[in-house]
């Protein structure tokens, strides 16, 4: 007769999980594509130390996503996280279609651009607190999409 290992009750896992704040930057950047213009809020995850979420400036994600829960290097929100440099990222491409991301290669290119834009915003990674929000006046970084679909930050 083989003996099975007992599983831990759910409350033990609950006690072991850790919460990491998501710092939202309101109106972080505006993308202009021809006549269309859209402004985005940007969610910076303090666990993965990078931009994990985007939300349209009139969306409610920034009001709902305050933190990420991590247990044994697995993140509850890893399946729709944009931060591919995070060890807990488990991005599922079909969940990222709202960003017009259709493949892992496109996610990699998108994250590369997002990382550059984040650096241009001069975000201080050491100054993130729980439920903290930074508002940019009117619009933060302005980005235009050219006819060749390349994204270029406009000089402020």
Read off the pLDDT of residues 97-133 as tens digits, 9 standing for 90 and up.
888 888 999 999 889 888 888 887 777 666 654 445 6
pLDDT digits (tens, 9 = 90+) for 15-36: 678 888 888 888 888 777 778 8
- 153 within a domain of the structure (yes/no): no
Q: What is the domain extent for residue 125?
A: 18-147
**CB neighbours of residue 146 within 10 Å:** 10
- 37 within a domain of the structure (yes/no): yes
Asked if residues 66 and 21 have their Cβ atoms less than 8 Å apart, the reply is yes
pLDDT: is 66 or 85 the higher one? 85
Q: Report the alpha-carbon distance of residue 39 to residue 55 in Å, rounded.
A: 9
Residue with tokens 């969610």: 43
DSSP assignment, residue 137? S
DSSP assignment, residue 103? S
Using DSSP bridges, classify how beta strands 141-145 and 18-33 pair: parallel, antiparallel or unpaired: parallel
Instruction: Give pLDDT, residue 120.
Output: 78
- 5 within a domain of the structure (yes/no): no
Q: What is the number of domains present in the chain?
A: 1
Q: What pTM was estimated for this model as a whole?
A: 0.73
Q: Name 131's Cβ contacts closer than 8 Å, sequence gap at least 6.
A: 21, 66
- 6 within a domain of the structure (yes/no): no
From residue 146, give the alpha-carbon distance in Å to each of 33, 143, 153, 154. Answer: 7, 10, 11, 11
């Amino acid at each position: 007769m083989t003996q099975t290992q007992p599983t831990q009750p759910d409350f033990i896992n609950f006690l072991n999980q850790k919460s990491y704040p998501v710092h939202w930057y309101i109106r972080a950047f505006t993308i202009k594509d021809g006549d269309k213009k859209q402004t985005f809020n940007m969610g910076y995850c303090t666990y993965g130390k990078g931009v994990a979420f985007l939300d349209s400036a009139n969306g409610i994600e920034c009001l709902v996503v305050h933190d990420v829960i991590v247990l044994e290097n697995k993140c509850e929100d890893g399946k729709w996280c944009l931060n591919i440099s995070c060890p807990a990222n488990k991005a599922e491409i079909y969940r990222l279609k709202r960003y017009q991301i259709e493949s892992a290669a496109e996610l990699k290119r998108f994250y590369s651009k997002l990382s550059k834009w984040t650096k241009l915003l001069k975000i201080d990674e050491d100054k993130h607190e729980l439920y903290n929000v930074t508002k940019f006046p009117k619009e933060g970084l302005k980005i235009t999409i050219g006819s060749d679909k390349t994204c270029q930050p406009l000089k402020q």
